[in-house]
Amino acid sequence: MQDTIDTQASFAVSDTGFYGRFGGAFIPEMLYPNVEELRQNYLSIIADPSFQAEFWQLLEDYVGRPTPLFLAKRLSAKKGATIYLKREDLCHTGAHKVNNTIGQILVAQRLGKKRIVAETGAGQHGVATATVCALMGLECIVYMGAIDMERQKPNVDRMRMLGATVVPAKSGSQTLKDATNEAMRHWINNPVDTHYIIGSVVGPHPYPDMVARFQSVISQEVRQQLLAKTGRENPDYMVACVGGGSNAAGAFFHFLHEPSVRLVAAEAAGMGVSSGHSAATTALGKPGVLHGSRTILMQTDDGQVTEPYSISAGLDYPGIGPLHAHLFDSGRGDFYAITDDEALAAGFELSKLEGIIPALETAHALAALDKMSLKADDVVVVCLSGRGDKDLSTYSKHL
């Protein structure tokens, strides 16, 4: 964890797609037309009043927003602070991912695209993509690591039921990184009629910024809801798990330039930071380029990407989004590494204290509460990014 904060740092993306020294678009020439078309058009499309009207209407009527901000009284009593849960698990499809897929499919339609390709780790982004493709009548191809397809089978079944073609990625570690590689290859080969919906704040500019904008509804609602409940817009802490970091980017977005709000990111330490089986990027990584952007990633001395590991398929990623790399680098964010065992314990704890079974990804954020120095008058918001149905087979092994 960094001790010093660069108070002059801006946390908004630059015109060239950088957050501090991280970001950009480091892409092969064959991808350039696809990415450039998106970069030149995404801001004007999003700003268009007809886009805004359709986006917000779908978030309200289809996704079920605003999602509740729930005062977790028994959890608060145990942790010694006032803790609210931002209930993204109550979104249609069971996680925050659909906020972004709604936005991106509306962009794709306005660019005249007829096919959608996506990658998925836990399957939540795949389900959210298949969902909006069914809603809009677009063809959907989802790449998913072969190992992830086994451990998240309910989500594979959901995607297929929604009409998507699910393609196993059998290279490398057969997880999220490899699914992303395969999806990018598919997009290179189908540049004219296909849009690639990236599910996190990763990839080449403009993806990290575009995804963060669509997810920023999370912190926008938190401010309004907290004001109504407590008379103050800003919590003392905003807590979220980070793999690529889309739920965290959305939860942090409207607090980035509010230094009184500490931004807390929980990464997956797997079997332990030094175990060789981990995905704690900020603890283990160094600057490099991954999937089209300069960020912090886990790599060998000669620059080969290290295989990540986490009990949670959604955090099993060797990098983080460039915004989060900048938050870490500048000291604006507090990063904690959470082990599998700590996450499991936190997942069981919330289930028994509040009657809410969280996704294993989300459980990492809940586990960070025990590592923070909380005071009795602190107001903490935890982004409850997803529900735990998809993880019941993993939880049940530890019952």
Q: Which residues are catalytic?
A: 97, 119, 385
Contact between residue 321 and residue 246 where contact means Cβ atoms under 8 Å apart:
yes
Contact between residue 317 and residue 177 where contact means Cβ atoms under 8 Å apart:
yes
Per DSSP bridges, beta strands 165-169 and 139-145 are parallel
Dist CA 387 CA 351 (whole Å): 11
Q: Where are the alpha helices (DSSP H) in the chain?
A: 32-47, 49-58, 73-79, 97-110, 124-136, 146-151, 153-161, 176-189, 207-215, 217-230, 246-252, 281-284, 322-330, 340-354, 360-368, 392-396
Per DSSP bridges, beta strands 22-23 and 18-19 are antiparallel
70 forms beta bridges with 85
